[in-house]
Amino acid sequence: MATDYYAVLGVRRDAGQDEIKKAFRRLARELHPDVNPDPKTQERFKEINAAYEVLSDPQKRQVYDLGGDPLSPNGGAGAGFGAGAAGFGFSDIMDAFFGAASGQRGPRSRTRRGQDAMIRLEITLEEAAFGTTKELQVDTAVTCTTCSGEGAAPGTSAQTCDMCRGKGEVSQVTRSFLGQVMTSRPCPQCQGFGTVVPTPCPECAGDGRVRARRTLTVKIPAGVDNGTRIQLAGEGEVGPGGGPAGDLYVEIAETAHTVFQRRGDDLHCTVTIPMTAASLGTQVPLQTLDGVEEVDIRPGTQSGQSIPLHGRGITHLRGGGRGDLIVHVEVQTPTKLDAEQEELLRRLAVLRGEERPSGQFAPGQQGLFSRLKDAFNGR
């Protein structure tokens, strides 16, 4: 998707209309051409106007949330990897909400494209790392089998409306100070369809579709993350009158792992080891996504140091390869010493000339900073 409208306005994805309006007004005051004629600022001004146009309109916002761009002429592409599906046109959505395009003459079709649907799917970190196949229960409108989507009871059929003679609209001549004016409006008897269904299908009450639960098998590619949407073309809601189905979007929700925290395609965890082990070096077993591996703690390891296990993270969604698993070391100072242990440590301090250490002072919190830096650099 080209533009993140939420980011443009600086609001969260679940922001309410009030919040969106406030954010827009604040930015508009700041960036208005009268206030700030700089061309770069003007680009920003156009952006926030576009973002507001979409997010302040519940229908456009829904289209946008489903992965489309309501301001792009073809509705924009859907979530990137939907088997080349072309997304959905904004006009289709508008048709679904408002009926056939305004200005169109003649009866409107009873058949319309169905709406897109969205379902959330929880997966584990392991499933995200390697990909999986899931069975999904989806509840959507499907074509009514009793009437095959026609809406008429079996053995009956739709008939031409006698009020408009099938034209779907009725004309009326009225007098006004400009003279005679002819106006036409949708036929009230057939609601503009041009046909009436005298005996609606008892199964679907004439809608041509019923709700049903289906089981779908969905392939989840390796590397998906929280919020990734997988587009299944034509698996959404069937339209009225047996119209073509919309698309189904499967939104991924990754459950928290007990040991690993995901940042991008890298995984992070902390291992706490006693001071003696940090000084002498040791190996600790770690259950990685690929089985148990020995983490090599080298002699003299400091608290806050990190040990990367290359290629033990999440598979990159595009282009293969894997992120790293980064083990952050936390050195534990021994407490509750018995007499013998204390004696040993005092003896060690004497041997190392550390009975009265002067300490090394530096600005800030070195340990914490280096840890953060390591995390950002993926070390």
Known binding residue 269? Answer is no
Listed residue (209, 218, 223, 222) closest to 249, CA to CA: 218
Between the CA of residue 41 and those of 7, 21, 71, 294, what are the distances in Å?
A: 16, 20, 21, 55
β strands within 68-168, DSSP E: 117-123, 132-143, 159-160
In the complex, the smallest distance separating the C-beta of residue 193 from Zn ion, rounded to whole angstroms, is 7
Asked if 232 is part of the footprint of Zn ion (rule: CB under 5 A), the reply reads: no
Can residue 205 be called a binding residue for Zn ion (CB under 5 A)? no
User: Is 146 near Zn ion (CB under 5 A)?
Assistant: yes
d(CA 28, CA 194): 47
Least distance (Å) between residue 182 CB and Zn ion:
18
The tally of CA atoms less than 13 A away on the side-chain side of residue 232 is 17
Number of residues that bind Zn ion (CB under 5 A): 12
Hey, which residues between 166 and 195 contact Zn ion (CB under 5 A)?
A: 187, 189-190
Q: How far is the CB of 140 from Zn ion (least distance, A)?
A: 16
Q: Is residue 163 a contact residue for Zn ion (CB under 5 A)?
A: yes
- Is the Cβ of residue 166 or residue 221 nearer to Zn ion in the bound state? 166
Among 48, 93, 161, 220, binds Zn ion (CB under 5 A): 161
Identify which of residues 148 and 302 has a Cβ nearer to Zn ion in the complex. Answer: 148
144 is in an annotated binding site: yes
Q: Residue 147 annotated as binding?
A: yes
Confirm if 246 and 117 have CB atoms less than 8 A apart. yes
Q: Does 54 bind Zn ion (CB under 5 A)?
A: no
Is 204 annotated to bind a ligand? Reply is: yes
**DSSP label at 156?**
-
Task: Give yes or no for a contact between 267 and 259, defined as CB atoms under 8 angstroms apart.
Answer: no
**Cβ atoms 217, 230 nearer than 8 A:** no
Segment contacting Zn ion by CB under 5 A, of 55-63, 82-90, 131-139, 143-151: 143-151
Instruction: Note the helical H segments in the chain.
Output: 5-9, 17-31, 39-55, 58-65, 90-98, 125-130, 275-280, 339-351, 366-377
Nearer to Zn ion, 10 or 244 (CB): 244
Would you state the torsion angle of the CA atoms of residues 297, 301, 305, 308, taken in this order, to the nearest 10 degrees? Answer: -30
Binding site for Zn ion (CB under 5 A): 144, 146-147, 161, 163-164, 187, 189-190, 201, 203-204
Residue ranges of the annotated binding site are 144, 147, 161, 164, 187, 190, 201, 204
Residue ranges of the annotated binding site for Zn(2+) are 144, 147, 161, 164, 187, 190, 201, 204
